[in-house]
Structure 1
Amino acid sequence: MAKARQSAGRTGRPKQATDEYPFQDPHARDDAGARLLEKAIGREVRAFREKLGMTITELAKASGLSAGMLSKIENGGTSPSLASLQALSRALHVPVTALMRTFEETHSATFVKSGQGLEIERRGTRAGHQYNLLGHLPTGPLVVEPYLITLSAESDVFPVFQHAGTEFIYMLEGEVTYRHGNRTYRLLPGDSLYFDADAPHGPEELNSLPIVFLSVISYVRS
């Protein structure tokens, strides 16, 4: 049996972990989360200070903190007390919550397993055009919609699409003659096309089937 690193004796000292029976301090803080918060606060303090054109020494004097402590806060090296945050917020003329805003922001992500994209029917879609939406974020001023598009022998030819924003196409499989405005492009695997989606566009000739390409449409959210 492994020897205990420190055992409890009659002195009443707490028993410490052994190799076989490790334990965690129930009062220990979540170091990972705390470090993220410390770094977020530090970034905001530095950003507001620089926006005001203040030096560390000037902000330290205005807030009543030492320059060394302020430097540690800006570098995410220490967790400032509520009193320190209040002093900094007064000196920087911002609310305390502004010093933690980047930590509290919600950042979304969409993960789609291979073959599990949401199959949808977009406005203007013709028969046989299979659209699989690969991701979507519901917030933000810019909408970005990535689609995996498959054209088969059942797909209509000469479809013409028009919509707001821009579109990027990247060919994965097959060969297609793609029209944009008054020009056509012969697209093979590895080719890409980026264009203003307000102009009429779409596959004009399905040269080699099946045709698979990635289409990324972006536009400003209305």
Structure 2
Amino acid sequence: MARSAVKKIGRQDPVSRAFGDRVRLMREQADLTLDQISKLSGVSRAMLSKVERGEKSPTIGVAKRIAHALGTSFSALVGDETVARRAFALVRKDQRQVFRDAETGFERILLSPVMAGLPVEVVLHHLPPKASTGKLPPYPAGVTKHVVATRGRVTVGIDNVETVLEEGDTLYFEADVEHWFENRSARPAEYYLVISAAQALSR
């Protein structure tokens, strides 16, 4: 039994391990139990436990639900928000924060710096053929998303209403409802997201 457990730990993905450690740290800092986070996020306690131990890599939908339950942003949960706010911040290509869904191949690449209080995020999404982000939880009121389709065809679902974006199309919407992104074609799809919390912060 002991040898089996050691082997299991050895196969852990270091990215999943780091993500799990951060989830556990932020949960403990918030003085919340796994059961409380489960109720707030809608993610099962068993799944949360596996995520914290680094045994399970969550989908982007699950990761975002955990972030919202912890009262933080997805980028802050995945990355490091210890950089002090300043007027100048350079992000080199090899320093970009990348989240990859192991099940679908979906990639979320944060292009803007991870800084506390930054009201705007610029993100690049890669969606493989026939892949979907799954339904994403609503953001707080006032958060908006601007989508720019740059490759392939992207279907955007917003509160059960779907819009198909061709290359070069753009879409702006208020993100305080459940939404998702899907590639139903046989070609890879790519799109940029500008996520703004400026209106939410001004309320």
TM superposition score normalised by structure 2: 0.47
RCO higher in structure (CA 8 A, sep ≥6):
2
Choose 1 or 2 for highest CA Rg: 1
TM superposition score normalised by structure 1: 0.43
Q: Which has the higher helix share?
A: 2
